[in-house]
Amino acid sequence: MSVISVKDLSMDYGSGIIFKDVNLDIEKGESVFLIGNSGCGKSTLLRCMNGLAKPTSGEVYFSGQRVSPDNDDIDSIRCHMGMVYQHFNLFSHLNVLENIVLAPMMVLKRSKAEAISEAKKLLERVAMSGRENAMPSELSGGQKQRIAIARTLAMHPDVILFDEPTSALDPTMVEEVENVISSLCEEGMTCVIVTHDMSFARKSASRVIFMAENGIYEQGTPAAVLDNPKKLLTRRFLYHSRMFEALLDKENMDILTLNSQMKKFLSKFKYTQTQYEVISSICDEFLYPIMYNKKNDIDTIGVRLMCSESSTAHTILLSVPQAKSDPLEWPYTDPISLKLLDHYTNVILSKESNDTGYEIYIQM
């Protein structure tokens, strides 16, 4: 018997079909990663699995029991199905230890001593020993998420559902959380994980499911789906998943946010510390000055970061449609900034285009 069985599941919020007639069986010990564009129904499917959302039609079964918000046994079912959310959901008024022992004591009727003893072991497991008395406000995002995972493990679940567990984290904290989840997958914990991080899925999934066109579009091993997809939309999605795009607007320019977003995207791939410095250098020494150059004729710059799945050979493409002359020359870019960029990168090439003004390729 499958641990989770989804039968002819459909969800329609009234504004359109989210997914239709989804059928899925998840076996004990599988680590199933759900990928796809935003809005394709990944998180909704996850919420249907533990009864947080009621489907329009169809059914979900957990170890043979029907899962639904109106099922009288839904609370007992959820005791065996952990959920880790994107935004941690720790109780802000409780310290770390109190967050972990609360549910085991109240729901599983563990003694306080037993719950505390196990909580300390779980904190060691997620590399958070010594932080028992810390308040959530004193923790980083990565630390909060590891506490959330420890809290879930304290309930001894048969399955853990992860809803984009690293998407709210700073790039420097993603790896520490992914390592904890990967270790759970390796130990045989049944996991269903919604993610936008293809490298994470490639490393830790036993099966990858790509959702599109209102359902499961393609599924298989990470090698089959991520490296050799058979269907057009899967190939298109994977191509775009390696690309970060933004439009820098003079009226609403936020260089710091762009810098952070590019680094966070880069962190999903193989990268060097020097490449982090390249992004900062481009933002500080090139993008900001060029938008406020003496000519004052540039209002927008298109930014595209294209990453390689297999190496650190990443490229940045900058489109400067309003530039009347080469943006790599004065007065757009001063010689010192250009030398700095040249020091960090392998290739900088600017070419004129009739359609886009100038395009600048930077090979990191």
Here the CATH number for the domain that contains residue 137 is 3.40.50.300
Choose one of 216, 238, 260: the last residue of a domain: 238
Task: Let me know whether 195 and 298 are in one domain.
Answer: no
Q: In sequence order, what DSSP letters do the residues of 230-251 get, joined into one string?
A: -SHHHHHHHHHHTEEEEEEEGG
Task: Let me know whether 92 and 215 are in one domain.
Answer: yes
- Considering only CA atoms, which of 314, 172, 348, 301 is closest in space to residue 242? 314
Task: Let me know whether 341 and 260 are in one domain.
Answer: yes
What per-residue confidence (pLDDT) applies to 315?
Answer: 93
Residue with tokens 């759970």: 184
Q: Report pLDDT digits (tens) over 123-132.
A: 999 999 999 9
| 354 has pLDDT over 70 | no
Q: In sequence order, what DSSP letters do the residues of 306-329 get, joined into one string?
A: E--SSSS--EEEEEETT-SS-TTS
Work out the average pLDDT over 8-34: 94
Assign 355 a pLDDT band (cuts: 50, 70, 90).
low
| 296 has pLDDT over 80 | no
Strand pairing category for 159-163 and 190-194: parallel
Burial (0-12, 13-18, 19+ Cβ within 10 Å), 239: exposed
What per-residue confidence (pLDDT) applies to 241?
Answer: 92
Choose one of 194, 217, 238: the last residue of a domain: 238
Q: What percent of the chain has pLDDT over 90?
A: 62
| 237 has pLDDT over 90 | yes
Task: Count the helix, strand and coil residues of the chain and give each as a percent rounded to the nearest 5.
Answer: 40, 25, 35
How many helices (DSSP H) and strands (DSSP E) are in the chain? 13, 15
Q: Report pLDDT digits (tens) over 54-91.
A: 999 999 999 999 998 888 788 888 889 999 998 888 99
Q: Among 114-123, 245-254, 266-275, 285-294, name the one with the lowest average pLDDT.
A: 285-294
Task: Let me know whether 249 and 234 are in one domain.
Answer: no
Task: Let me know whether 180 and 296 are in one domain.
Answer: no
Q: What is the CATH number of the domain that holds 330?
A: 3.30.565.10
Q: What is the token pair recorded at 115?
A: 């719950």
What per-residue confidence (pLDDT) applies to 192?
Answer: 98
Task: Let me know whether 191 and 219 are in one domain.
Answer: yes
Task: Let me know whether 324 and 344 are in one domain.
Answer: yes
Kindly give the residue spans of alpha helices, DSSP state H, lying in 93-170: 96-106, 112-125, 141-153
Distances (CA, A) of 316 to 142, 171, 197, 240: 28, 19, 20, 14
Task: Let me know whether 35 and 123 are in one domain.
Answer: yes
What per-residue confidence (pLDDT) applies to 356?
Answer: 67
| 41 has pLDDT over 80 | yes
- Considering only CA atoms, which of 301, 354, 357 is closest in space to residue 325? 357
Task: Let me know whether 154 and 250 are in one domain.
Answer: no
Work out the average pLDDT over 41-45: 95
Assign 203 a pLDDT band (cuts: 50, 70, 90).
very high
Instruction: Provide the Cα torsion 103, 108, 114, 119; round to 10°.
Output: -40
Q: Which is more confident, 250 or 105?
A: 105
Assign 290 a pLDDT band (cuts: 50, 70, 90).
confident
Q: Across all residues in the chain, what is the average pLDDT?
A: 90
Number of domains forming the structure of the chain: 2
What per-residue confidence (pLDDT) applies to 342?
Answer: 77
**pTM value?**
0.84
Q: Which is more confident, 340 or 158?
A: 158
Per the structure, the complete domain to which residue 291 belongs is given by 242-363
Task: Let me know whether 15 and 80 are in one domain.
Answer: yes
Task: Let me know whether 175 and 79 are in one domain.
Answer: yes
Residue with tokens 């994470």: 200
Task: Let me know whether 230 and 285 are in one domain.
Answer: no
Q: How far is CA 227 from the centre of its chain?
A: 19
Q: Rounded CA gap, 63 and 270, in Å?
A: 39
Q: Rounded CA gap, 191 and 149, in Å?
A: 12
